[in-house]
């Protein structure tokens, strides 16, 4: 039998980066448990528009857990009270009938609020632009087995590359640290021979840009790993620190 619930929503509303924000309360009835969280917000927005009110601004794109755009803080958890998912993969069956659901934007100096639940995550793009790429000419695309890479290293690089840059790690951290994101992007290249040529420059440049953009230091509480929708490991942070220290000594 299909689960149908009635819910109360406390949603953060803020007209702009410098405007004063506050929670507003809304009620929705007859929501199917098979409805995704973003579809529920669509239903709420349709209701608000029909009432002549401003719809709630939130970010989304693929709605398949790939793009990382759906950055919502739900009941005290980035992406909500489920594991290894993004907000768009969260369904209303995870909530109880009559429950009050609190929805906020990411809270970080590096992610200023644009409006309501949408934040500016372009800081991550700037960190990638600082060094999260390979620019050396490596020639044409070689056969898959032309460059020997130990399976363990290949697997670790793939796991690091699974980071979608959603910012949940920043939202989960008391210091608003971006170290899990940055370390994943450093690791996915540092682990492979193609990325070694620029390893030192990459580590220094990306860490410097992260600090410049106002992200805090790692708290070592592992909240970032716990809340990451792709289960990116904090072992990447240790690897990034080693890369950074080695780069400093190579100056």
CB atoms inside a 10 Å sphere around CB 184: 27
> What share of the chain has pLDDT > 90, as a percent?
89
Is pLDDT at 141 greater than 80 in this prediction? Answer: no
Backbone angles phi, psi at 194, to 5 degrees: -65, -25
Answer with the residue of higher pLDDT: 75 or 194: 75
Say which CATH superfamily domain 4-104 falls into: Beta-grasp domain (3.10.20.30)
Please give the structure tokens belonging to residue 227: 């809340």
Query: Which part of the chain has CATH 1.10.1060.10?
Result: 121-249
Query: Which part of the chain has CATH 3.10.20.30?
Result: 4-104
* Residues 121-249, CATH architecture: Orthogonal Bundle (1.10)
What number is the average pLDDT over the span 18-35?
97
pLDDT 10s digits, 81-114: 999 999 999 999 999 999 999 999 999 999 999 9
Answer with the residue of higher pLDDT: 147 or 100: 100
């Amino acid at each position: 039998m299909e689960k149908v619930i009635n819910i109360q929503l406390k949603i953060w509303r803020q007209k702009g980066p410098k405007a004063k924000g506050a929670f507003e309360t809304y009620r929705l009835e007859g929501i199917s448990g098979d409805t995704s969280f973003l579809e529920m917000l669509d239903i709420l927005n349709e209701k608000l528009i029909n009432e002549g009110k401003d719809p709630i601004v939130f970010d989304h794109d693929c709605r398949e857990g790939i793009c990382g755009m759906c950055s919502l803080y739900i009941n005290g958890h980035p992406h909500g009270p489920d594991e290894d998912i993004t907000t768009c993969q969260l369904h209303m069956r995870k909530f109880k009938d009559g429950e009050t659901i609190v929805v906020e934007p990411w809270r970080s100096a590096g992610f200023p609020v644009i409006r309501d639940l949408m934040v500016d995550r372009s800081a991550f793009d700037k960190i990638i632009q600082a060094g999260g790429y390979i620019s050396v000419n490596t020639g044409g695309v070689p056969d898959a087995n032309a460059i020997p890479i130990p399976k363990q290293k290949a697997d670790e690089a793939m796991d690091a590359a699974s980071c979608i840059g959603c910012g949940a790690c920043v939202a989960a951290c008391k210091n608003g640290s971006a170290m899990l994101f940055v370390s994943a992007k450093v690791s996915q290249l540092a682990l492979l021979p193609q990325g070694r040529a620029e390893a030192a420059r990459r580590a220094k440049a990306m860490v410097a840009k992260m600090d410049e953009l106002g992200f805090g230091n790692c708290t070592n509480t592992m909240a970032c790993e716990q809340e990451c929708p792709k289960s990116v490991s904090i072992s990447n942070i240790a690897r990034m620190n080693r890369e950074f220290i080695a780069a400093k000594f190579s100056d």
